[in-house]
């Protein structure tokens, strides 16, 4: 009787915890929409999303250049981080000896714990001058921000991808080797395809970290509201726009910053739906193939 009562309490406690998380997220979303919708209604949703000018003093609130900036920084950082992360995960999971793995894995995990302001300060002091000397301009650019973000999201991609590779049943590897495949052929043709759902999850998590990063981007991206014509142009991300101007915003400007949060929220939702669709489709395909 006592055991059943304890299980009942634990079950209800876990249920309440899960529901409270949903309620908190729902309240945050409702608050953002309540504060942001007046600006969209006043300026017009189409003008707000696709407008090219952001000048609060002139009542101009177009966030399209910042949408391009956020997507460009995120895409470029993923373009660099995904191959590096996957090769590193393969090395740790299938190639590296235990002695090396014991050193590399804690080192990589430590990178995830470094505050973003430290990454931003490193980029400001070290990376920006290098970019200025090598490529001209101010050194503050989309590429500079993407390099910093690449380092920041690598630990997530590496850790989750390594776990996905290690979770592949050992029988798959043994069967491939028994058929005469080399170790690399086994990794490429058996282990990696079987781990793709988990690898896609790591990319989704990395994408979420990249598109939501604020402080490091503020310090190295240049924060110029413009559509970049190259990766060496300065840009402003949506998150940076909110952080930079929230301290002194009033009236419709204040609401416009929350409307920026709405746009960012919708962007993340769309990207996550698309990524999870690919994850589910690949999982079903692989699952059906092995069945």
Q: Quick one: pLDDT at residue 105?
A: 86
Instruction: Count other Cβ atoms within 10 Å, centred on residue 272.
Output: 15
Distance CA 102, CA 100 (A): 5
Q: Give the helix/strand (H/E) hosting 60.
A: strand 60-61
Query: What distance in Å separates the CA atoms of residue 281 and residue 290, rounded to the nearest whole number?
Result: 14
Collapsing DSSP to helix, strand or coil, 235 comes out as: strand
206 lies in the same domain as 274: yes
Per-residue pLDDT at 2: 61
Q: Are residues 252 and 284 in the same domain?
A: yes
Tokens for 35?
């504060």
Ordered alpha helix ranges (H), 44-94:
45-50, 64-90
Q: What are phi and psi of 235, to 5 degrees?
A: -140, 165
pLDDT in tens, 204-238: 888 888 888 888 899 999 888 889 888 999 999 99
Q: Compute the mean pLDDT over every residue in the chain, rounded to the nearest whole number.
A: 87
Structure-token match 């896609």, residue found: 200
At 52, list the tokens: 């090219």
The per-residue pLDDT for 93 is 87
* 112 and 238 inside one domain: yes
Residue 59 falls inside a structural domain: no
**Residue 132 shares a structural domain with residue 8:** no
Q: How many domains does the chain have?
A: 2
| Distance from C-alpha of 71 to C-alpha of 263, rounded to nearest angstrom | 12
Cα–Cα distance, 14 to 149 (Å, whole number): 35
56 located within any domain: no
Measured distance CA(210)–CA(197) in Å, rounded: 20
Task: Output the pLDDT for position 290.
Answer: 43
> According to the model, what pLDDT value does residue 128 have?
92
Residue 285: the pLDDT is 60
Which pLDDT belongs to residue 291? Answer: 37
pLDDT of the residue at 282? 63
Whether 81 and 154 have beta carbons less than 8 Å apart is answered as yes
CA distance linking residue 267 with residue 273, whole number of Å: 10
Straight-line distance from the first to the last Cα atom of the chain, in angstroms, rounded to the nearest whole number: 43
104 and 38 together in one domain: no
Domain containing residue 170: 64-290
* 111 and 202 assigned to the same domain: yes
The residue among 123, 125, 92, 124 whose CA lies nearest residue 109 is: 92
Averaged pLDDT, groups of 10, the chain, 291 residues long: 73 88 91 90 88 87 91 93 92 86 86 88 92 88 93 92 88 85 86 87 87 88 89 91 87 91 88 76 57 37
Residue 58, in any domain of the structure: no
Does residue 283 sit within a domain?
Answer: yes
Please state, in angstroms and rounded to a whole number, the distance separating the CA atoms of residues 289 and 44. 49
Task: Name every residue whose Cβ is closer than 8 Å to that of residue 273 and which is 6 or more positions away in sequence.
Answer: none
pLDDT score, position 151: 92
């Amino acid at each position: 009787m006592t055991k059943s009562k304890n299980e009942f309490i634990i079950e209800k406690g876990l249920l309440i915890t899960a529901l409270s998380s949903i309620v908190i997220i729902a309240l945050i979303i409702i608050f953002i929409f309540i504060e942001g919708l007046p600006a969209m209604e006043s300026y017009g949703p189409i003008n707000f999303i696709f407008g090219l000018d952001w000048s609060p003093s002139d009542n101009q609130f177009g966030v399209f250049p910042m949408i391009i900036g956020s997507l460009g920084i995120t895409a470029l950082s993923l373009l660099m981080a995904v191959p590096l992360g996957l090769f590193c995960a393969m090395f740790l999971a299938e190639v590296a000896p235990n002695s090396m793995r014991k050193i590399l894995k804690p080192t990589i995990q430590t990178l995830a714990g470094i505050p973003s302001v430290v990454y931003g300060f490193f980029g400001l002091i070290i990376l920006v001058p290098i970019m200025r000397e090598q490529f001209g301009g101010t050194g503050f650019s989309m590429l500079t921000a993407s390099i910093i973000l690449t380092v920041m999201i690598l630990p997530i991609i590496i850790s989750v991808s390594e776990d996905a590779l290690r979770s592949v049943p050992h029988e798959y590897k043994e069967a491939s080797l028994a058929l005469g495949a080399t170790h690399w052929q086994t990794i490429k043709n058996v282990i990696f395809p079987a781990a793709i759902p988990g690898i896609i999850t790591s990319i989704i998590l990395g994408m979420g970290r990249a598109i939501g990063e604020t402080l490091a981007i503020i310090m190295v991206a240049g924060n110029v509201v413009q559509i970049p014509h190259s990766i060496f142009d300065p840009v402003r991300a949506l998150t940076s726009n909110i952080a930079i101007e929230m301290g002194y915003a009033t009236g419709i400007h204040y609401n416009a910053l929350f409307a920026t949060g709405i746009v960012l929220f919708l962007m993340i939702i769309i990207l996550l739906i698309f990524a999870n669709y690919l994850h589910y489709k690949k999982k079903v395909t692989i699952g059906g193939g092995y069945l």
